[in-house]
Structure 1
């Protein structure tokens, strides 16, 4: 079975609505959650880690 949409770099699910940053996809749900997450929240560090992958892959 083929997945529809693109794979989100944050949640790794395939979605059809989202944004591309340097050819990496972030779904609308993850984008919204990142915006609402406070910097003191433990999940904030997870988002930072996932987003670092965008820059690491482009600088290899």
Structure 2
């Protein structure tokens, strides 16, 4: 049986096992689903964009 690895989501900052890795950043399954279903006019959309910018800008920069 495969052991699941926990990662910290760059959106919700929670430790989860299910989600996607984009470059070296993790987005949990719950946040991924919420991002996909959020309308561009929704205020939360801008929060998601801000959080996802971490993918292009490493934390050590």
Runs (4 or more) in structure 1 with deviation over 3 Å come to: none
Which secondary structure does the structure 1 equivalent of 2:58 belong to?
helix
Report the CA distance between 1:53 and its aligned residue: 1.0
Deviation digits for residues 22-41 of structure 1, max 9, x if unmatched? 01000000000000000000
Q: What runs of 5+ residues in structure 2 fail to find an aligned partner?
A: none
Name 1:37's counterpart in structure 2: 38
Name 2:19's counterpart in structure 1: 18
Compute the RMSD of aligned alpha carbons: 1.5
For residues 32 and 26 of structure 1, what CA distance do their matches in structure 2 show? 10
For residues 6 and 40 of structure 2, what CA distance do their matches in structure 1 show? 30
In the alignment of these two chains, the number of paired residues is 56
TM-score (normalised: structure 2): 0.86
